[in-house]
Amino acid sequence: MEQTLENSELFTSDANFRPHEVVLAFRNRGMPLEGLRYSITPTGMHYLLIHFDIPYVDARSWQLQINGRVSKPMILTLEDIKRRPTVTLPVTMECAGNGRALLNPRPISQPWMLEAISTAEWTGTPLRGLLEESGLLDDTVELLFTGLDRGIQADKDQCYQRSLTVDEVLREEVLLAYEMNGAPLEPQHGFPLRLVVPGWYGMTSVKWLSHIEALAEPFQGPQMQFYRYAQDENDPGDRVKLMKVRSLMIPPGLATFPTRERLVDAGPVVLTGRAWAGRSAVVRVELSVDGGQNWQNAELDEPTGPHAWRGWSFEWTAAPGTHTLCVRATDSKGGVQPMEQCWSYYGVGNNNVSRVEISVK
Ligand SMILES: Nc1nc2c(c(=O)[nH]1)N[C@H]1C(S)=C(S)[C@@H](COP(=O)(O)O)O[C@H]1N2
Ligand SMILES: [Mo]
Instruction: Compute the average pLDDT of residues 226-255.
Output: 96
Report which protein residue has its CA nearest ligand 1's atom 10: 203
For residue 94, the model assigns a pLDDT of: 98
The Cα–Cα gap between 201 and 118 comes to 11
How far apart, in whole angstroms, are the C-alpha atoms of residue 120 and residue 304?
A: 10
pLDDT of 7 > 80? The answer is: no
Ligand 1 contact, 189 CB (< 6 A): yes
Cα 48 to ligand 1 centre (Å): 7
Region 242-247: mean pLDDT is 98
- Identify the CA nearest to 51 among candidates 150, 155, 187: 150
pTM, full prediction: 0.97
pLDDT at 4: 63
Q: Is 48's C-beta closer than 6 angstroms to any atom of ligand 1? A: yes
Give residue 26's region: left, alpha or beta (phi > 0; psi -120 to 50). Answer: alpha
pLDDT, tens only, 258-271: 999 999 999 999 99
H or E element that contains 225? helix 222-225
- Binding site membership of 122 for ligand 1 (Cβ less than 6 Å): no
Per-residue confidence (pLDDT) for residue 1, from 0 to 100: 38
The mean per-residue pLDDT over the stretch 327-333 comes to 98
Looking at residue 289, its pLDDT comes to 97
Read off the pLDDT of residues 185-222 as tens digits, 9 standing for 90 and up: 999 999 999 999 999 999 999 999 999 999 999 999 99
The predicted structure's pLDDT at residue 322: 98
Q: Cα of 192 to ligand 1 centre, how many Å?
A: 14
CA of 187 to the centre of ligand 2 (A): 17
pLDDT at 5: 67
Of 2-11, 34-43, 174-183, the poorest mean pLDDT is in 2-11
**Which whole-number Å values give the CA distances from 66 to 15, 139, 145, 211, 296, in the listed order?**
46, 16, 10, 6, 51
203 Cβ below 6 A of ligand 1 = yes
Mean pLDDT of the 313-321 span: 98
Torsion sign over Cα 350, 54, 119, 214: negative
Residue pair 96/223 in contact by the 8 Å Cβ criterion: no
Ligand 1: residue whose CA is nearest its atom 15: 202
pLDDT (average), residues 91-104: 97
* Residue identifier of the C-alpha nearest atom 19 of ligand 1: 48
How many angstroms separate the CA atoms of 191 and 138, rounded?
32
Ligand 1 lined by 328 (C-beta under 6 Å): no
Q: What is the pLDDT of residue 22?
A: 97
| Distance of alpha carbon 183 from alpha carbon 44, whole angstroms | 12
Separation of 79 CA from ligand 1 center, angstroms? 24
What per-residue confidence (pLDDT) applies to 9?
84
Tell whether ligand 1 has an atom less than 6 A from the beta carbon of residue 194.
Answer: no
User: Does position 2 have pLDDT exceeding 50, yes or no?
Assistant: no
CB 177 within 8 A of CB 122: yes
What is the spatial distance between Cα 290 and Cα 21, in angstroms, rounded to a whole number? 33
Atom of ligand 1 nearest to the CA of 159: 1
Separation of CA 298 and ligand 1 centre (Å)? 32
Cα(62) to centroid of ligand 2, in Å?
25
Q: Considering every ligand atom, which ligand is closest to the CA of 210? A: 1
Contacts with 181 (C-beta within 8 Å, 6 or more apart), sequence order: 40, 42, 43, 120, 121
- What does pLDDT average to over the chain? 96
* Residue 49 beta carbon below 6 angstroms from any ligand 1 atom: yes
pLDDT in tens, 109-121: 999 999 999 999 9
Residue with CA nearest ligand 1 atom 5:
50
Q: 151-183, pLDDT tens digit by residue?
A: 999 999 999 999 999 999 999 999 999 999 999
Give the mean model confidence (pLDDT) for residues 339-344: 94
252 near 293, Cβ under 8 Å?
no
